[in-house]
Homo-oligomer: A and B are copies of this chain.
Amino acid sequence: MSRFAKPSQRDIARLAQVSQTTVSMVITGKAEAIGISYDTQERIRQAMRELGYTPNVAARSLQGGRNGLIGVHTFEPVFPVSADDYFHQFLVGIEQMAVELGQDLVLFASTQGADGTRSIYRTGVNRLNLADGVIMLGIEKNDSEVARLRAEGYPFVLIGRRDVAGVPFVTTDYVEAAGAVVDQLVSRGHRSIGYLARPLDTSPQNERREGFRERMSARGAITVFERFVEPADLVSSWLRDAMASGTTAIVVENYELIAALDSAASDVGVAIPEHLSVVCLDWGAHDLNGAAWSHLSVPRRELGRRSVAVLMALLEGEIGPDHAEVVPCELPGSATIAAPRSGLGADSGSRLGPR
Contacts and interface: CB of A to CB of B under 8 A. Distances in A.
Interface of A: 1-4, 6, 45, 48-49, 52-62, 65, 67-69, 77-81, 83-84, 88-89, 91-92, 95-96, 98-99, 102-110, 112, 121, 124-130, 133, 148, 151-155, 288, 315, 317, 320-321
Given A69-B130, A104-B110, 12 more contacts: A4-B153, A4-B315, A6-B152, A53-B125, A57-B126, A69-B106, A77-B99, A80-B92, A81-B92, A98-B109, A98-B110, A99-B110
Interface centre among A55, A57, A148, A317, by most chain B C-beta atoms within 10 angstroms, is: A57
Given A6-B152, A107-B105, A124-B45, A79 B65 contact: no
B48 A56 contact: no
Given A88-B83, A110-B99, A130 B1 contact: no
B106 A110 contact: no
- Which 5 residue pairs spanning A and B have beta carbons closest together? A3-B153, A54-B129, A98-B109, A105-B107, A52-B152
Given A79-B95, A124-B49, A154-B4, A62 B56 contact: yes
A124 B70 CA distance: 21
A58 B129 contact: yes
Nearest to A287: B83
A110 B83 CA distance: 25
B110 A103 contact: yes
Contacts of A49: 124
B77 A67 contact: no
Contacts of A6: 129, 152
A61 B151 CA distance: 24
A54 B288 contact: no
Given A6-B152, A52-B152, A1 B317 contact: yes
Contact of A130 (B3, B54, B102): B54
Nearest to A49: B124
A62 B65 contact: no
A87 to B, nearest CB: 10
A346 to B, nearest CB: 30
A335 B43 CA distance: 64
Interface centre among A79, A83, A95, by most chain B C-beta atoms within 10 angstroms, is: A79
A110 B102 CA distance: 4
Contacts of A2: 153
